[in-house]
Structure 1
Amino acid sequence: MTSEGVAGSSQQASPSVEISNREGSGPAVILCEHAACDIPEMYQGLGLDPVHRSSHAAWDPGARAVAVKLSDALDAPLIASRVSRLVYDCNRPPDAASAMPERSEIIDVPGNHDLTPAQRAARVDAIYRPFCQAVSRVLADRAARHLPTVLLTLHSFTPYYYGHTRRVEIGILHDADTRLADAMLAQTHRLPHRDIQRNAPYGPEDGVTHSLKLHGMGNGLANVMVEIRNDLLATPDAEATMANEVLRLILPALATLGFAVPPQEGERDA
């Protein structure tokens, strides 16, 4: 995966983590745990069919592109994983079976079968810990600079899951801390053409709020996960459109919570 500059800078914390716009002083820190479908050579493709290595099972298509645009618009640091979530899902704790899934929906992952404790620990050390450490360093630096901060995680999801069609287009997800999610959901009238739902297509009961709890609630930060249906992210123009629509929810939500937001180019709420 190629590292691209965001708002003028991009830094690599480790081979498995990308940090962009680290010095950004806007009100948010953005995470993209499923930004890449890369499977390092040492994992021998996890035994997957090549088609599956680039499917939604391996990453969140379009999520990083939207995260980059939000990082630019919000002057926000962005921390993204460079490794497929099938090798290690950085939105799962090490003791979760789904951190290194043997199966993702209908796709079997042979390279994750019968992993030894040592093999699991090696992946934790190579992928999960560097990601968490990068997030912690960025948040600690912002705290030292007295920068008010919310945590935003960016994901995409497949429109068809186990043969069922998902109508929801944008999901606003939260765990026990609902502050930012509530503020964003209060702005859905700005996108009347979109099906926007709370805790859909996933919710806390599905184990998807690990990053929100660890990095957001664990640091007393208002936090939210945004899920975008990936058929709405099929082209660069579509990615730009969805980034703009997410901004139409999050900018007034941040203002409602008392956060100053960077000036935007043009009128987003016309």
Structure 2
Amino acid sequence: MGSDATLSTLFGPSDPPPVGELAGADDSPFFLVCDHAGNAVPAILEGLGLPQAERERHIAIDRGALAVAKNLAARLQAPLVYQRYSRLVIDCNRKPEAGDSIPAVSDATEVPANQGLDPAARQVRHDAILKPYHDRIRALLDARAEAGRPTLFVSVHSFTPELRARPLERPWDLGLCWGDDRRFNDLVLAALEEQATDLRLGRNEPYGVDMVNDYSIPVHAEGRGLPYVEFEMRQDHLEDAAAPERWAERLERALRLAAERFFKQEG
């Protein structure tokens, strides 16, 4: 199996660039990210030693999240930055020092290529994948701040209804997650409750924001004092062809109503 420990670069000619991006309109207050959008693996890592079926599971990618994020960005005319590489190569919503930044085991699946990685090998993945992703987000947010443009930070994720390692009930259709700042999350939650009484909404479910180990919300949103919302959509609700558009329409309505109320409150 290939090792990246001694490589000066992780990527070969067939590997895609790590950062995907859609431009938005200058007057949109929304800014979208999708940390676990893709499941690409650099060719030299030989699929991480995993069969394709494992690389299609939730451990490798937030299934359906990118399709919703792209539809939502188009509706909101908002910029979107997303990551093409699998969270099993390196998790772009974890700080590099987090224990599961490059997981050796994920939901009971051992990842052969991640066993016993030395610091140099970890640094290669960080420099090639995580760093350019967050550098791009940082640059775009800096530009918005310099231009005096308001920003509502929206993070799009999906979750599996079933875990192998911890068989717990996960009944929610949609979760909203926050850390220390609930300002915008609470308004989005209220808008969803008003508009979609059929939804089983999770509050910091199935996850909360880990302010110590998570990256995007703690660093880019909370770290800048930006109002934000993090969505966790149930993956088995995203499988049919019409689902991304249906979910994007639902989230757009809630986000626009919450934004109107937020800016009115903020004066």
Identify the residue that residue 4 of structure 2 maps to in structure 1.
Answer: none
**What corresponds to 2:220 in structure 1?**
215
Which residue does the alignment assign to 1:262?
A: none
**What corresponds to 1:175 in structure 2?**
179
Aligned-pair CA distance for 1:25: 3.2
**For 1:18-41, what per-residue CA distance to the aligned partner results, in whole angstroms no more than 9, with x for missing partners?**
111155531111000000011110
Partner AA of 2:246 in structure 1: T
Find the partner of 1:82 among 81, 84, 95: 84
Structural mapping, 1:65-104, within 5 Å:
65-104=67-106
- CA-based RMSD: 1.6
Counterpart amino acid of residue 56 in structure 2: S
1:199 and 2:204 matched:
yes
Aligned to 1:190: 195
**Equivalent-residue separation in structure 1 for 2:160 and 2:249 (angstroms):** 20
Counterpart for residue 239 of structure 1:
244
Q: Map 1:21-170 onto structure 2 (within 5 A).
A: 21=23, 24-161=26-163, 162-170=166-174
Please say if residues 175 and 209 of structure 1, whose CA atoms lie closer than 8 Å, have aligned partners that are also in contact. no
Deviation at 1:104, TM superposition (A): 1.1
Aligned-pair CA distance for 1:165: 3.1
CA displacement at 1:108 relative to structure 2 = 1.2
Letter in 2 for 1:92: R
Separation in 2, partners of 1:105, 1:39 = 19
Query: For the Cα contact (< 8 Å) 1:202–1:208, is it kept in 2?
Result: no
User: Among 252, 257, 263, which residue is 1:252 paired with?
Assistant: 257
SS of residue in 2 equivalent to 1:258: helix
My pick for the range that moved more, 203-212 or 49-58, is 203-212
Q: Are 1:31 and 1:153, in contact at CA under 8 Å, matched by a contact in 2?
A: yes
Partner of 1:20: 22
Deviation beyond 4 Å, 4+ runs, structure 1: 205-209
- Quick one: structure 1 residues 44 and 112, their matched pair in 2 at CA, closer, same or farther if it must change by over 3 Å? same
TM-score (norm 2): 0.88
Distance 1:247 1:58, change over 3 A: same
Q: What percent identity do the matched residue pairs reach?
A: 35
Change (3 A) 1:70 1:204: same
User: Which amino acid in 2 is paired with 1:121?
Assistant: Q
Equivalenced residue count is 246
8 A Cα contact 2:211 2:218, kept in partner:
no
- 1:206, CA displacement in angstroms? 8.8
- In the other structure, the counterpart of 1:7 is none
Report how far residue 208 of structure 1 moved.
7.0
Normalised TM-score (structure 1): 0.87
Distance 2:214 2:182 in 1: 12
Measured in 2, the distance between the counterparts of 1:236 and 1:209 equals 31
Residues in 2 aligned to 1:75 and 1:158: alpha-carbon distance in whole angstroms: 28
Please tell me whether residue 226 in structure 1 is matched to residue 223 in structure 2. Answer: no
Contact 1:174–1:181, Cα closer than 8 Å, also in 2: yes
CA contact 2:237–2:243 (8 Å) conserved in 1: yes
Tell me the distance in 2 between the aligned counterparts of 1:255 and 1:208: 32
Letter in 2 for 1:141: A
